Amino acid sequence: MPANGAGRGVTRRQVVAGGGVAAFGLLAPRRPAEAAAKAVPITVVINQSPWFDSFRKVVELYEKDTGNKVELDVNPFAGSLEKQRNSVRAAQGQYDLLVMNSGWFAEMYFGGFLEAISDIDPAFKLDPDIYTLDNTVYFDAAKKTMTPSGKLMSVPIAPLIPLTYYRGDLYKEAGLVKAPETFAELEANAKRLNKPPRRYGIVQRGARGPASVSYDFYPYLYGFGGGVFKNQAAGDYSVTLNNEAGHTALDYYLRLAKEAGHPQTASLEQAEVIQNMVTGKAGHIIVVVSAWSQMDDPDKSLVVDKVEFAVPPHAPGFSPGPGLGHWLGGIARNVPDDRKRAAVEFLRWFQTADAQLAYAKAGGIPVSAATYRDPISQERKFRWMKPLSEALPHAVNIYQFPEASEVISILELGLNQAVAGNLTAVAALNSMAGQIHDVMSKHGYKTGVEPPLR
């Protein structure tokens, strides 16, 4: 996804060029009587992304199914955030439904810019099958925490987390019988498949960006039992990044890159990581699930039907720790009440099992566990569904405060310097931890920092 430049927003009427839902081969879901009432038109601000087209198709299906109208204002990643910030601070907002990324939804919660869905419609209930994604759909404004005891603030739109992608055909050739569950197994398997320069055992992201190398490092950090902070849910922002678990995780990340990885890891972004897999240059990658469709796209991939998927690995005694890079749909406080109610109607419909199944068939990543239980999940095309459903309960919301971007920028620089060999793991971790502690102190959070690693 582009990380800079707002550009000019593209409305749905500019994006949709011919063809309705029938052209996509989607079956309109059965509409329960309570699923969606007649409502005024709404405008949704959203980012351009690999999963956007599936969301657009489902919006078209909603319009066909209900007669209600939705306009999509589509922007680059950073441009979507800029438009949301401007709209929620205006006397009257331009956008009714905000599709918010994991990196900035806390800003909208803490700033009081959203109307709780439960306040707009007390009868609205989140479907029990909808993943709450580490309870990020809830917010307790008094305690400033994301907890089910708070109000329902949003509905998930895209439950994005990383998965392990690996070459099933190469596993068979090498006599490897199962996907790696532990980091030790991943390392051994990556070394087994490492045949540079023809193929690398694993290709990792190491480039600095808005949320690049840090996002790909989280499954390692949390999978080894580490973390950035001690206990955000309890309001304890003591920095634990440079403890022994963090040290082990970063040493491992660097060792993989050096001994079984790409020689230019420090310069690789997500697109390059994915490109290495689809061109047959990688035995493993750990990237966001939304890249799954590229693996079997004959116009993009040389490894069609050869890539398998698994839950990210973990160290013995710990759970997997995939970091959330998800998207949530929240309703702006500063729009007219009829538009708020109309946005609720869309979210009510979107969370239904039938709508979620249509979303999957359109190429999206469903937010309902019901879809992952559906027979569709047994089809070869959707072989990523089972590992994703197993990984989602372990997903970690990395940041629960609105100044997260300041912390992410520190991690991006420090991790990139470590991957590039400009800093040792110890020096990078100590430096990042100290800077993060300074940020949290500056903003008045309860914080502390581990003694420096030696």
What pLDDT score does 87 carry?
A: 97
Whether residues 168 and 156 fall in one domain: no
Q: Is residue 184 part of a domain?
A: yes
What pLDDT score does 416 carry?
A: 98
What pLDDT score does 23 carry?
A: 39
Whether residues 154 and 175 fall in one domain: no
Q: Is residue 394 part of a domain?
A: no
Whether residues 270 and 286 fall in one domain: yes
Does position 423 have pLDDT exceeding 50, yes or no?
A: yes
Q: Is residue 452 part of a domain?
A: no
Whether residues 258 and 354 fall in one domain: no
The chain-wide mean pLDDT, for the chain, equals 92
Number of domains in the chain: 2
Domain boundary among 383, 416, 434: 383
What pLDDT score does 77 carry?
A: 87
Does position 156 have pLDDT exceeding 90, yes or no?
A: yes
What pLDDT score does 233 carry?
A: 86
Does position 438 have pLDDT exceeding 60, yes or no?
A: yes
Does position 408 have pLDDT exceeding 70, yes or no?
A: yes
Q: Whole-model pTM?
A: 0.89
What confidence tier does 9 reach under pLDDT thresholds 50, 70, 90? Answer: very low
Domain boundary among 336, 352, 383: 383
Please indicate whether residue 87 or residue 50 has the higher confidence score (pLDDT): 87
Q: Is residue 408 part of a domain?
A: yes
Does position 299 have pLDDT exceeding 60, yes or no?
A: yes
Indicate which CATH number applies to the domain containing 149: 3.40.190.10
What pLDDT score does 4 carry?
A: 32
Whether residues 408 and 291 fall in one domain: yes
pLDDT tens-place string over residues 372-405: 999 999 999 999 999 999 999 999 999 999 999 8
Whether residues 346 and 266 fall in one domain: no
Whether residues 14 and 91 fall in one domain: yes
**Residue 235, domain extent:** 162-322+400-442
Does position 260 have pLDDT exceeding 80, yes or no?
A: yes
Does position 130 have pLDDT exceeding 60, yes or no?
A: yes
Whether residues 310 and 340 fall in one domain: no
Q: Is residue 288 part of a domain?
A: yes
Does position 40 have pLDDT exceeding 70, yes or no?
A: yes
Whether residues 250 and 346 fall in one domain: no
Whether residues 284 and 338 fall in one domain: no
Whether residues 55 and 97 fall in one domain: yes
Written in H, E and C, the secondary structure of the chain is: CCCCCCCCCEEHHHHCCCCCHHHHCCCCCCCCCCCCCCCCCEEEEEECCCCHHHHHHHHHHHHHHHCCCEEEEEECHHHHHHHHHHHHCCCCCCCCEEEEECCCHHHHHHCCCEECHHHHCCCCCCCCCECCCCCCCEEECCCCECCCCCEECEEEEECCCEEEEEEHHHHHHHCCCCCCCEHHHHHHHHHHHCECCCEECCCCCCCCCCCCHHHHHHHHHHHCCCCCEEEHHHCEEEECCCCHHHHHHHHHHHHHHHHHCCCCHHHCCHHHHHHHHHCCCECEEEEEHHHHHHHCCCCCCCCCCCEEEECCCECCCCCCCCECCCEEEEEECCCCHHHHHHHHHHHHHHCCHHHHHHHHHCCCCCCEHHHHHCHHHHCHHHCCHHHHHHHHHHCECCCCCCCHHHHHHHHHHHHHHHHHCCCCHHHHHHHHHHHHHHHHHHCCCCCCECCCCC
Whether residues 115 and 34 fall in one domain: yes
- Span 216-222, average pLDDT: 98
